[in-house]
Amino acid sequence: MSGEAGSTSGRAGAERRRLAATVAGAADAVVSVLAAHPMRGSAPYPAGDVLAVLLGQQRILLEAVDGWEGPLAVTADGRPEPLAGELALFMSYLQLSCVLYRGLSDIPASMRADAARHLSTIHLAARRLRDRARRAARAA
């Protein structure tokens, strides 16, 4: 392997680790806000506060993706990048919630069951993505 190819590969690995750290941080923020605000029966839900965090983290992730040069779904050597698929799915969950619950200070009774499922799914996806991204950020 030439020195240039090795340094290119090293830079790509460092960039992927930085992206993974950004993803882990965003997912962790979502995990934290959803853990702090579980939806319980008919109790008031701070939808505006929760959605502000979800939207903020979605923006951070979108900036990270937009700033990435080259393909995200495959590594430099052409292997599938598992983090990319989970990241795309997670970002779609965030977008869904940001659209459905936009402008609400509480979740109306007619939407609570679906909202509880959505938020539970986002919480699970965030934990999985955070853990995978943390492992990727530590990878050598």
Given a contact cutoff of 8 angstroms between Cβ atoms, the answer to whether 58 and 22 are in contact is no
Residue 11 has pLDDT above 90, yes or no: no
Beta-ladder partners of 74: 80
Hunting for tokens 């509880």 — which residue is that?
116
Domain range holding 12?
A: 3-138
* Helix 82-100 / helix 112-138 crossing angle, nearest 10 deg: 150
Whole-prediction pTM = 0.88
DSSP designation for 115? H
**Rounded Cα gap, residues 121 and 100, in angstroms:** 15
Residue 1 has pLDDT above 70, yes or no: no
Cα angle at 90 between 87 and 94, to 5 degrees? Answer: 135
pLDDT in tens, 94-126: 999 999 999 999 999 999 999 999 999 999 999
Number of domains in the chain: 1
Q: What is the pLDDT of residue 3?
A: 43
Q: What is the pLDDT of residue 5?
A: 44
Q: Provide, rounded to the nearest whole percent, the portion of the chain with pLDDT above 70.
A: 92
Tell me what the mean pLDDT of segment 75-104 comes to.
93
Q: What is the CATH number of the domain that holds 93?
A: 1.20.120
**Rounded Cα gap, residues 94 and 54, in angstroms:** 6
